[in-house]
Amino acid sequence: MSDDLKTLIAQIEEEEQQLVFDTFDETDAWELGSLLVRLARERTLPVAIDIRRGEQQLFHAALPGATADNDAWIARKVRVVHRFGASSYLVGRRLAAKGQTLGAELGVDPALFAAHGGAFPVRVTGAGVIGVVTVSGLPQAQDHALVVEALRERLAAVR
């Protein structure tokens, strides 16, 4: 494993440890989703944004340039977070570090799962992973970075 990949994995693991809510409800989903929409609009990013608590979709938006394909990617990335309890980017980078990909050898269908950046677990203190926030439409590192940026800003506002 390269030092760059090792550093990236450690960075993502740290993000997941830091970006934890005390509570997360419909208002939090609305505020976080609206923040993501604002950031994406300011940068003219062609993304779809999705926030779920469990299986319930609490927020969804598609900005100019996003397509139905982005919704399919969202569904595949969300399944990764639900299955592995970690961000889709972290799962993908951990697999890459081992020279593996997400597929039948891990018991998943790659048509239904995508270990590409952009889906991040919504964690609540004392409850663990209760949902997922996802962005799709950019290269995977940028999808992930946009979600992390918005989570940092939202958590700073509620603390």
Q: What is the model's pLDDT at position 3?
A: 87
Residue type, 11: Q
Distance between CA atoms of 145 and 137, rounded to whole angstroms?
A: 12
pLDDT score, position 50: 98
The answer to whether the beta carbons of residues 121 and 86 sit under 8 Å apart is yes
Give 44's DSSP letter: T
Q: What is the pTM of this model?
A: 0.96
- Predicted pLDDT of residue 2: 86
Q: Give domain 3-158's CATH superfamily.
A: Haem-degrading domain (3.30.450.150)
Domain boundaries, the chain: 3-158
Give the contacts of 27 (CB within 8 A, at least 6 positions apart): none
Q: What is the pLDDT along the chain (159 residues), one digit of tens a residue?
A: 788 999 999 999 999 999 999 999 999 999 999 999 999 999 999 999 999 999 999 999 999 999 999 999 999 999 999 999 999 999 999 999 999 999 988 899 999 999 999 999 999 999 999 999 999 999 999 999 999 999 999 999 998
